Amino acid sequence: MNFADKLSEKMVPLAQVIANNRYLLSLRDGFMMAFPATMFASIMIIVQNLPTTFGFANYLPAGFNTFLTDFFGPIGNATMSISAIFIVFGIGYHLAAHYKQSQIFAGAISLSSFIMLLPFGSDKTLGSFMPLSKLGAQGMFVGIVTAIISTEIYCRISRAGITIKMPESVPPMIADSFTAIIPGAAPLFIFNIIRYAFTFTSWGNAVDFMYEILQKPLMGLGGTLPAVLIAVFFTQFFW
């Protein structure tokens, strides 16, 4: 038996464990939920920047370049800039399937729990708003963790039967909505406590805390040789 066969013999059982891990599977499928929107945005960004890329932007009328910016520019805000929303909902949706619980309600609770942690601002004209940057890559890690935890809480309470049970005469969708009240309220209440606790910290919210403490340092390491080697190793390992 050669080295490759020995390595395969040792790695196959571990690979099967990884391939069947519900969290990794939910993470994969959750990211794929954002794929259509982000792929569309990627193509539109290429189209928008064609004149600049090929060096003939200066030869076009100024109005045409303005048209490209005005027409294609907002697409990114509606897709890539809010990718965390798709992914959080997708993770909750697919993770609930492994527990055979309501996927729609689990995804909705995951998304609501994530939004609960976001900082809100206010404006006299616009009213309440949230920074768009928190809904994209900057809030991604918090969104992933939130989706997994909130769905775990939701599914465990639901499986334990701690729900509001309606008579059989009630239409299924209405009955399912009442059934999801207690399992859904628990994670929402917990994440509201977390949100409130962060208001007493220097970060102000969980997204900025996670970004400054974890994401930003990791992004800084991304350009070093050891970090690239580690990233490539895990990419091939999980593949």
Classify each residue of 71-87 as buried b or exposed e, where b means 16 or more C-beta atoms within 10 Å of its C-beta: ebeebbeebbbbbbbbb
Say which amino acid occupies 139.
G
- The model's confidence at residue 122, banded by pLDDT at 50, 70 and 90, is confident
For residues 28-48, average pLDDT: 92
Residue 237 predicted with pLDDT over 70: no
Query: What does pTM read for this prediction?
Result: 0.85
Residue indicated by tokens 């939920």: 33
* Domain ranges across the chain: 26-33+84-238, 35-78
What is the per-residue pLDDT for 191?
Answer: 97
Over residues 179-215, the pLDDT tens digits come to: 999 999 999 999 999 999 999 998 899 998 988 887 6
What is the per-residue pLDDT for 62?
Answer: 76
Higher pLDDT, 115 or 169: 115
What is the per-residue pLDDT for 39?
Answer: 94
